[in-house]
Amino acid sequence: MVEVIIDSLKRSGWNVGTLAGNWFCAVSDTQPRGLIFGYLNEMSDDVMAKISEFNIPIWDAIVFCPTGFDSAQLKKHRFPGIQLWYWDLEMGNLFPFPPTKKRDIPNMLQQIASGTPITLNVEPQLPKLSTPYFTYVLLGINVIVFLLMTLAGGSTNPDVLITFGAKVNSLIQAGQVWRLLTSMFIHIGILHLAFNLYALWALGPVTEQSYGHGKYFAIYMLSGLGGSLASFLFSPALSAGASGAIMGLLGAQLLFIYKRPYLWKTGLGMNLVIVILVNLGFGFWQPGIDNFAHLGGLFTGMLMGLIFSWKTFAKPKSTKLS
């Protein structure tokens, strides 16, 4: 790893030298900043004294962590006034300390990986977020179905609900298993629709961006089916709604954040946990809410998130920058 960075820096016109121990220093005649880097277990207290010899105002330190990153290391950092970047080589995550939104070092490492010249004073444009096509399609389907139900006699009319495909256990047992799918696009009343559309509008684009269009659609549909199946197995009541699918998105997004410590530490993960607990608690407290569908969708979404994240959870034998 160190050799790769040294070679890339030299080819980009940087001057690289050895500091105390096996730590290295890189400076450039064209940029008013310097870079030091080395392995966590080879840190030396003499490094600060060495870099003070340079008349450079801005310094970054990349700390390689071959066996993973422990947040306890933040209390032991020996470079006050320097922006530290702890690189977990097991998971591939980069932890800035103190926390910062600057992209200099992550961009530099991307430049090394792509073989382009290294610069630390230019911020490349971040990639644009992709359009959440499937979220828009799902929102549209739910609205269209609701309007058709309203024209047919009202979305709270039991006959209309059954005609459009609500979950009715006796009919599913009679062979109408398609109701496990159609029920996730039906809503009982305008408030039911409004709550679920808002949740899908808020959560859908984020989850679709996280997993990609195809995996997102699979998570939504399978979570909806999982919720319908759980409701069929444990609740005899007529039910309908996209809540199971939306809870599945919550579960999948929770897994996505969990496997990325830098996101979890922002509080996003705990926020999702709170949202999930509030929804489940409200479902147990308020009669008429199918919490079995919520739980079935949640567990299915978490399972799908785990499957789609399997390669990330599995520890690689080695990590190389190429």
Catalytic residue numbers, as ranges? 243, 294
Instruction: Provide CB contacts within 8 A for 74, sequence distance 6+.
Output: 86, 97
Hey, which residues does 37 pair with through a beta bridge?
Answer: 24, 62
Phi, psi at 92, each rounded to 5°? 85, 10
Q: Which residue has the tokens 């047992």?
A: 173
**Measured distance CA(129)–CA(220) in Å, rounded:** 20
DSSP 123: -
CA atoms within 13 A of residue 22's CA, in its CB half-sphere: 10
The beta strand positions in 190-315, using DSSP E, are none
| Residue length of the chain | 322
SS3 content of the chain, % helix, strand, coil (to 5): 55, 10, 35
What would the DSSP string read from start to end of 52-97? TTS--SEEEEEEEETT---GGGGGG---TTSEEEEEETTTTEEEEE
